[in-house]
Amino acid sequence: SAVISQKPSRDICQRGTSLTIQCQVDSQVTMMFWYRQQPGQSLTLIATANQGSEATYESGFVIDKFPISRPNLTFSTLTVSNMSPEDSSIYLCSVVIYGVNTEAFFGQGTRLTVV
Amino acid sequence: SQELEQSPQSLIVQEGKNLTINCTSSKTLYGLYWYKQKYGEGLIFLMMLQKGGEEKSHEKITAKLDEKKQQSSLHITASQPSHAGIYLCGARTSGTYKYIFGTGTRLKVLA
């Protein structure tokens, strides 16, 4: 299994500013993902964080808006840039460790409110 | 694209009652995962099903995957207030470790 520490747990930000969310895992993991959960909605995959290279973004998400870093196997950051109220969501870090089960583990999430 | 549909969207039951949540896909599922989310928090892994016809139980929660691997059900026996939350089914997309998720079922258990 994996223990994921995600920071901050919540924040209230002014529109036009940026927020960087950190995801730290207690073991080396194979894959790291970032998801968004808008109010009342399910989870939507933003991107796959690739170690040492540019993240792979899903349709509808772009690097300029959601820059992602993954400098090593245990750490990743997601930045929400030039925020607007529509960016108010829960952002979740997820990791997968190749193995027998390969279930995804999730951080506790970052609840972002943009005012 | 592959999608997961969950039903019902919300459920209110009296404590002690049984309930079932369904998750349906139009395509064969490549691993089906059930998670629970407390309101506004992260996801807690419940169970994973991979084989057609598989059934798993943990405490009072039982999950099944049909033979065609396109539908799963989550059954809670003798529900308790601690079972309240949002139940999400998720599935790996074929050939990758990306997950798609159902729309969620909000469960409220009345004491």
pLDDT digits (tens, 9 = 90+) for A40-91: 888 899 999 999 889 999 999 999 999 999 999 999 999 999 999 999 999 9
Query: CA nearest A110: which of A94, A96, A86, A89?
Result: A89
Query: Residue B2 pLDDT > 60, yes or no?
Result: no
Q: What is the mean pLDDT of chain A?
A: 91
Which pair of tokens denotes residue A40? Answer: 């009342």
Mutate to test the interface with A, among B37, B50, B92 (most CBs of A within 10 A): B37
User: For residue A12, what are its two tokens?
Assistant: 């209230």
**Average pLDDT in the A18-35 region?**
92
Query: Is the bond preceding residue A8 a cis peptide, omega within 30 degrees?
Result: yes
CB B107 within 8 A of CB B83: yes
A29, two tokens:
């993991």
**Cis peptide bond prior to B8, omega within 30° of 0:** yes
Percentage of chain B surpassing pLDDT 70? 97
In DSSP terms, which residues pair with A94 in a beta bridge? A33, A106
Distance (Å, whole) CA A47 – CA A62: 9
Interface contact B40-A48, CB threshold 8 A:
no
Q: Give the C-alpha separation, A88 to A113, whole Å.
A: 5
Longest dimension (CA), chain B: 44
**Residue to substitute from B101, B103, B106, interface A, most A β-carbons within 10 A:** B101
What is the predicted pLDDT for the residue at A101? 60
